[in-house]
Homo-oligomer: A and B are copies of this chain.
Amino acid sequence: MTQTVPVRSLTAKGERTRAKIVDAAADLMFRDGVAGTTVEDLCAAAGVGRSQVYHYFDDKTELVRAVIERQAELVFGGQEPHLAHVEGWESWEAWRDFVVGTQRRAGCVGGCPLGSLASELADEDELTRGILVLSFGRWEGAFRDGVRRMQDLGLVRADADPAGLATTLLATLQGGLLLCQVAKDVAPLEAALNGAIGYLRSFA
């Protein structure tokens, strides 16, 4: 993904330290929320000093933006292999099983790393929101391409709207992940994804 947050020229060692800080911040913010994560927590978790954090990031807002990009990369990186190589209905079922399996392994804790950040930050400053828009847009684009591929394969009717279907798929996924987090059970997520795929199937 094109980095929206400017990254200063760093040495290899500097890049590693910066990545260590972002990874630790991502873990903490996933667990405790952005508001619940302090620089002290971050320094302890990353094993760095306060001055190092401020060497790489002007302020918390800049760090948060890097965390959004990192989480978007991880979430998308996991699902992309399924969505980028759609070969038929079994690809959508494999995608569903991947998403459900990820939540099952996580004990249904935390919900979607990107969705949780979005819920907390979507009303903050416009640059932060812009990064969320780009991240979700990239994800939605992958769904749209997957639907188009189904059309090319002759498995989904040509009059189906890939954009509307992509929005519905992404929305159902996000809501399903939230219901899974609340229920501490993958059943609602699985039901919601079956519904989303069922909707796509209604255009078969």
Is A17 on the interface with B (CB-CB < 8 A)? no
A195 contacts B178, C-beta separation under 8 Å: no
Q: Please determine whether B133 and A182 come into contact, CB atoms closer than 8 angstroms.
A: yes
Given A33-B35, A198-B202, answer yes or no on A167-B181 (Cβ-Cβ < 8 Å): no
| Stretch of A39-47, A56-64, A86-94, A168-176 with 4 or more beta carbons under 8 angstroms from chain B | A168-176
Interface residues of A in 158-204 (CB under 8 A from B): 163-165, 167-168, 170-176, 178-179, 181-184, 188-189, 191-192, 194-196, 198-199, 202
Please judge, given known A-B contacts A119-B111, A198-B202, whether A171 and B176 are in contact too, CB under 8 Å: yes
A76 interfacial contact with B, CB 8 Å:
no
Encoded as 1 (CB less than 8 Å from any B CB) or 0, chain A from 25 to 50 comes to 00000011101100000000000000
- The answer to whether A118 touches B164 (Cβ under 8 A) is no
User: For residues 115 through 165 of chain A, which have their beta carbon under 8 Å from a beta carbon of chain B?
Assistant: 115-116, 118-120, 122-123, 129, 132-133, 136, 163-165
Residues of B close to A176: CB separation below 8 A: 167, 171, 175
A172–chain B nearest beta-carbon distance, Å: 5
Give the number of copies in the complex.
2
Contacts A119-B111, A119-B120 given; indicate if A179 touches B188 (C-beta within 8 A). no
With contacts A168-B191, A172-B171, A192-B168 taken as known, whether A118 is within 8 angstroms of B178 at the C-beta atoms is yes
Determine the chain B residues whose CB is within 8 A of the CB of A198 once the complex forms.
168, 199, 202
Residue in B closest to A118 when the chains form the complex, CB atoms:
B182
Instruction: Check: A24 CB closer than 8 A to any chain B CB.
Output: no
Which residue in B118, B172, B181 is a CB contact (below 8 Å) of A172? B172
Return A72 CB to nearest CB of chain B, in Å. Answer: 12
- 19 other contacts beyond A118-B182, A132-B182, with CB at 8 A cut-off? A31-B123, A35-B36, A115-B178, A116-B119, A118-B181, A119-B181, A123-B181, A129-B184, A133-B182, A136-B183, A167-B192, A171-B171, A171-B174, A171-B189, A174-B174, A174-B178, A198-B199, A199-B199, A202-B202
